[in-house]
Amino acid sequence: MVRHSNAGAVLVIGLGCENNQVDASAKRWGTSIRHVCTSWCVSIRDDEVEAGLEHLHQLYEVMRHDQREAGKLSELKFGLECGGSDGLSGITANPMLGQFSDYVISNGGTTVLTEVPEMFGAERILMSHCRDEATFEKTVTMVNDFKQYFIAHNQPIYENPSPGNKAGGITTLEEKSLGCTQKAGGQPGGGRAALRASGCKPTV
């Protein structure tokens, strides 16, 4: 998120005792004109709140000069996340997101379904959209790997849907998954709608 294009500036706060030290992480983040990152360790300041406000004021002085610029849809990547699905999501919001996904992809952009377990029970719909055999095999492997992860850690695969989903009218994971897959739209997968393994950055 530090390098997200919507972030004009970022303040990262560390305690000093973490395994993931802020300074070491900052080297991986890198810097640019659009992404100014400031960090400090609270353990070396007497007044953490005052120090934080000082840093925020400094960051504001940098980002307040930013200007809005026109961009291309092909430069954008959208992650499609579950947002409190209920019994109507599969016939309202999710199909609308599917149309949005089709529009984005047809204009060179990228959309990503971000929750693989939410596909369980309806994964064959996504597989039918794969543009070639290689993409189909990747999809099968990705879904099965997630299922095996649940099994290996003695976790029930069908613990989903959540209590909130059930309160909204969803009764099974398959119902929720049928809604999830609609967010992908009808474009053939494997092009701009690329398949990425969990934890990998979309490159299209």
- Residue 49, pLDDT score: 82
The DSSP bridge partners found for residue 9 are: 36
Question: Does the structure show a pLDDT above 80 at 57?
Answer: yes
84, 147: one domain = yes
15: its two tokens: 């305690």
The DSSP result for 97-124, as a single string, is HHHHHHHHHHTT-EEEE--SGGGTT-HH
pLDDT confidence band for 43 (50 / 70 / 90): low
164, 82: one domain = yes
- Residue 107, pLDDT score: 94
- Residue 194, pLDDT score: 47
- Residue 40, pLDDT score: 59
Contact of 165 with 85, CB cutoff 8 Å? yes
> Higher model confidence: residue 198 or residue 172?
172
Q: Which structural domain range is residue 148 located in?
A: 73-182
Average pLDDT over every residue of 170-181? 91
CA angle 180, 188, 143 (to 5 degrees): 50
Average pLDDT over every residue of 126-154? 90
82, 154: one domain = yes
In degrees and rounded to multiples of 5, residue 14 shows phi and psi of -120, 155
33, 89: one domain = no
- Residue 192, pLDDT score: 44
> Higher model confidence: residue 107 or residue 55?
107
Cα→Cα distances 26→11, 39, 49, 201, 202, Å: 11, 8, 21, 18, 21
Would 90 be classed as within a structural domain?
yes
The DSSP bridge partners found for residue 78 are: 111
Residue 135 three-state SS: helix
Return d(Cα 149, Cα 44) in angstroms, integer.
41
Question: Does the structure show a pLDDT above 60 at 90?
Answer: yes
